[in-house]
Amino acid sequence: MYTTKISGIGKYLPELEVSNDDLSKFMDTSDEWIQERTGIVTRRYGNKHKETTTTMGTRAAEIAIERAGINKEDIDFIIFATLSPDYYFPGCGVLLQRELGITKTEIGALDIRNQCTGFVYGLTVADQFIKSGMYKNILLVGAEMHSMGLDFTTEGRGVTVIFGDGAGAVVLQRNEEGKEGILTSNLHSDGTHAEELAMINPGSHGGYHLGKEKFGYPDQEFGGIFLTQKMMDDGLIYPNMTGQLVFKTAIQKFPESIMENLNAAGLNTSDIKMLIPHQANLRISQFVQRILKLRDDQVYNNIQKYGNTTAASIPIALCEAWEGGLIEEGDLVCLAAFGSGFTWGSVLLRW
Ligand code: UT7
């Protein structure tokens, strides 16, 4: 039986660094509040009109492909995870294919819309394709250009200060011998709280159910189209989040999913060389670390520099940890995520 190993990894962070003080020029917030509640010091923003989610993903992918020692034409499937795509449709997968200059059409491109868990979902889907023998080289990309879709007024501060832009990518390859690769993974979802961390417009709901209950709008004001002037006038085009509910649920589900994987593999927390949690909030990672009784050197955090980059956060952190020599051949690595949906899950792999 084949296993799936990460044979190349890359990341791309846009140049523009935005501090907490920079944000406090647009909204009523402070460096002290942001650092205390989230641990974030700076985040990066893409260069508007010159960079997009796809172009950032492409830069990360080029590095991953080079490090994997393959040619772009060897890629036989693309998976792209993002919540901030260039277009409503088509997805970023085909745009990335074009940007990379992959002209062969025997390739498939799949877009994943699982927000913060997009990378973990993508990895698990890719693992099944590789294990089944269908594909040999899968390119998985997580990328976000959040800065194009955030509310930079005080009303949006609870969400806006958290997010940053960036991209990460891995090449996943069929491993025919050796022990490296994905050992176990689990994926979970609970739609009960779908609107507690959501951006509902533009969308096809037309005010039905969501609009009425959440915003008290009569149906006709949605006009029967995806996006209306009134939605824009009322600022209903930004993400909303019930922060405390997300926080409380996250610190419960992260450890549950990680333990589920460890139990399935017959391993325990002391076997983990590095836990790479989705960089949602430094305080969440610290809770998870405490609950699982992990040492500081077993958990990697870089949200302080980059903010929460959603689908990109795990590959960026994994890449940085590997580049820093913190992950070596044979190490047990755990990737875990929780976010909008709610969805959560984790992957256990031998590097
Ligand atoms: O990857 C996606 C998943 N998302 C997450 O994991 C986020 C999880 N949740 C969180 O990280 C936290 O809930 C937040 C960091 C988003 C918010 O922290 P909190 O401690 O839960 O704050 P809160 O929402 O309860 O707000 C406390 C106060 C409120 O003021 P009042 O009503 O007490 O006067 C907010 O209006 O802080 C205020 N506030 C801010 N103040 C300054 C909210 N955002 C800000 C801000 N700057 N940026």
| DSSP label of 280 | S
**What residues have CB less than 8 Å from 346, skipping those under 6 apart?**
120, 185, 186, 254, 257, 258, 260, 261, 334, 335, 336, 337
Could you tell me the pTM of the whole model?
0.96
| 344 neighbors 254 (Cβ within 8 angstroms) | yes
Pocket test residue of 19, 21, 37, 161 for ligand 1, highest count of atoms within 8 A of CB: 37
Q: Which atom of ligand 1 is nearest to the CA of 37?
A: 15
| 5 neighbors 176 (Cβ within 8 angstroms) | no
Pocket test residue of 144, 248, 281 for ligand 1, highest count of atoms within 8 A of CB: 281
pLDDT score recorded for residue 16: 98
Q: Would you call 188 helix, strand, or coil by DSSP? A: strand
In this predicted model, what pLDDT tens digit does every residue of 64-104 receive, in sequence order?
Answer: 999 999 999 999 999 999 999 999 999 999 999 999 999 99
- C-alpha 59/C-alpha 56 separation (Å) is 5
Asked if 308 is an active-site residue, the reply is yes
The mean-pLDDT minimum among 228-232, 278-282, 294-298 falls in 228-232
Give span(s): CATH 3.40.47.10, the chain: 3-175, 181-193+241-350
Is the per-residue pLDDT at 221 higher than 90?
no
pLDDT score recorded for residue 232: 86
pLDDT band with cut points at 50, 70 and 90 for residue 214: low
Q: Which of 20, 92, 114, 116 is catalytic?
A: 116
Is the per-residue pLDDT at 256 higher than 80?
yes
pLDDT band with cut points at 50, 70 and 90 for residue 235: confident
CATH fold of 181-193+241-350 reads Peroxisomal Thiolase; Chain A, domain 1 (3.40.47)
Ligand 1 centre distance from Cα of residue 6 (Å): 36
In this predicted model, what pLDDT tens digit does every residue of 12-54 receive, in sequence order?
Answer: 999 999 999 999 999 999 999 999 999 999 999 999 999 999 9
Q: Which residue minimizes the CA distance to atom 28 of ligand 1?
A: 158
Q: Which residue minimizes the CA distance to atom 38 of ligand 1?
A: 158
Q: Would you call 187 helix, strand, or coil by DSSP? A: strand
Ligand 1 centre distance from Cα of residue 167 (Å): 25
Report residues whose beta carbon is within 6 angstroms of any ligand 1 atom. Answer: 29, 33-34, 37-38, 116, 157-158, 161, 197, 243-244, 246-247, 250, 280-281, 284, 308, 339
Q: Which CATH architecture has domain 3-175?
A: 3-Layer(aba) Sandwich (3.40)
Q: Report residue 127 as tokens.
A: 């693992």
Count the residues in the chain: 351
**What residues have CB less than 8 Å from 348, skipping those under 6 apart?**
182, 183, 184, 185, 261, 262, 265, 267, 332, 333, 334
Is the per-residue pLDDT at 62 higher than 70?
yes
Nearest partner of 318 among 284, 351, 281, judged by Cα? 351
Asked if 209 is an active-site residue, the reply is no
pLDDT score recorded for residue 336: 98
Ligand 1 centre distance from Cα of residue 48 (Å): 27
Which string of b and e fits 88-100 if b means at least 16 CB within 10 Å?
eeebbbbbbbebb
Is the per-residue pLDDT at 320 higher than 90?
yes
Higher local confidence (pLDDT), 297 or 222: 297
pLDDT band with cut points at 50, 70 and 90 for residue 211: low
Is the per-residue pLDDT at 168 higher than 80?
yes
In DSSP notation, 12-57 reads E--SEEEEHHHHTTTSS--HHHHHHHH---EEEE--TTT--HHHHH
pLDDT score recorded for residue 54: 98
User: E-assigned strands of 157-206?
Assistant: 166-175, 181-189, 197-198
Ligand 1 centre distance from Cα of residue 37 (Å): 7
Mean pLDDT of the chain: 95
For residue 173, which phi and psi values (nearest 5 degrees)?
A: -130, 155
pLDDT score recorded for residue 64: 98
State which amino acid sits at residue 296: D
Ligand 1 centre distance from Cα of residue 79 (Å): 32
Nearest partner of 333 among 256, 279, 267, 250, judged by Cα? 267
pLDDT score recorded for residue 229: 86
Is the per-residue pLDDT at 181 higher than 90?
yes
pLDDT score recorded for residue 207: 74
pLDDT score recorded for residue 219: 66
pLDDT score recorded for residue 204: 87
Angle at 174 between CA 170 and CA 180, to 5 degrees: 80
Is the per-residue pLDDT at 332 higher than 90?
yes
pLDDT band with cut points at 50, 70 and 90 for residue 2: confident
